């Protein structure tokens, strides 16, 4: 039977996942969050445990999203089978992403192509699209609001940075130009890209 132990360590809530599946973990955490919301709201969370090894990235993302929806913010996932995060975790894609496709990077994601509508990309660090971004993009997906999203033509359905979400209104009359999305004063802003 699945089990999730929750421990307070160094000002973090550490969720330790024993063997189980994503549905069981979702049910356990939902019950805990709804029973004692005051314990979890505003807390930094870290995932650990051997149970994570059997989950897909989509499973882990869904569990993280559950935490974000209940007012927590994520620190990075700890997976004992993985080494510490390094630059080699950056993901380079040399093609267009079709609608419905999903990609995740434990580092930054650089796409040499377009991200079509309803495609979804997530990255622990920054997202760079050297083309048109129309789908859903989530940078800093473990709660890092210092990250940014850049595209040569930024026209996403939705962007997320850390735990911040923005729905971008469609504006077909807008001229395509390089833009960057970032968080400032707890809001997502989009501005023309200016080299530093």
> How much is the pLDDT for 170?
64
DSSP letters for 25-59: HHHHHHHHHHH-HHHHTT-EEEEESGGGGGS-HHH
What would the pLDDT profile of 66-98 be if each residue is shown by its tens digit? 888 888 877 654 443 343 344 457 888 888 999
Of 68, 83, 61, residue with least CA distance to 143: 68
Of 123, 101, 100, residue with least CA distance to 110: 123
Query: Distance between CA atoms of 151 and 84, rounded to whole angstroms?
Result: 28
Query: Distance between CA atoms of 13 and 74, rounded to whole angstroms?
Result: 10
Selected from 2.40.30, 3.30.750, 1.10.1760, 1.10.10, the CATH number assigned to the domain covering 4-74 reads: 3.30.750
More confident of the two residues 13 and 119:
119
Query: Distance between CA atoms of 83 and 79, rounded to whole angstroms?
Result: 8
* Annotated domain spans of the chain: 4-74, 87-192
For residue 154, the Cα-to-chain-centroid distance in whole angstroms is 18
Q: Which fold has domain 87-192?
A: Pectate Lyase C-like (2.160.20)
Q: Answer whether residue 125 shows pLDDT above 60.
A: yes
* pLDDT averaged over every residue in the chain: 84
> How much is the pLDDT for 171?
60
pLDDT confidence of 14, banded at 50, 70, 90? confident
In the beta sheet, which residues pair with residue 180?
150, 191
- Hunting for tokens 């069981």 — which residue is that? 24
The stretch 166-185 carries a mean pLDDT of 79
């Amino acid at each position: 039977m699945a089990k999730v132990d929750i421990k307070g360590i160094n000002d973090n809530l550490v969720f330790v996942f024993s063997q189980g599946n994503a549905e069981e973990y979702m049910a356990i955490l939902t019950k805990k969050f709804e029973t004692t919301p005051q314990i979890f709201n505003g807390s930094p969370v870290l995932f650990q445990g051997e149970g994570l090894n059997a989950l897909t990235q989509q499973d882990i993302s869904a569990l993280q999203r559950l935490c974000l929806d209940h007012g927590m913010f994520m620190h990075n996932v700890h997976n004992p089978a993985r080494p510490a995060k390094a630059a080699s975790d950056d993901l380079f894609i040399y093609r267009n992403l079709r609608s419905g496709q999903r990609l995740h990077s434990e580092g930054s994601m650089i796409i040499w192509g377009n991200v079509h509508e309803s495609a979804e990309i997530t990255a622990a660090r920054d997202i760079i699209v050297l083309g048109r971004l129309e789908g859903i993009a989530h940078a800093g997906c473990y709660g890092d609001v210092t990250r940014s999203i850049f595209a040569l033509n930024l026209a996403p359905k939705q962007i997320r940075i850390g735990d911040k979400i923005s729905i971008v209104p469609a504006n077909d009359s807008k001229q395509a130009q390089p833009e960057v999305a970032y968080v400032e004063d707890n809001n997502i802003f989009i501005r023309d890209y200016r080299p530093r």
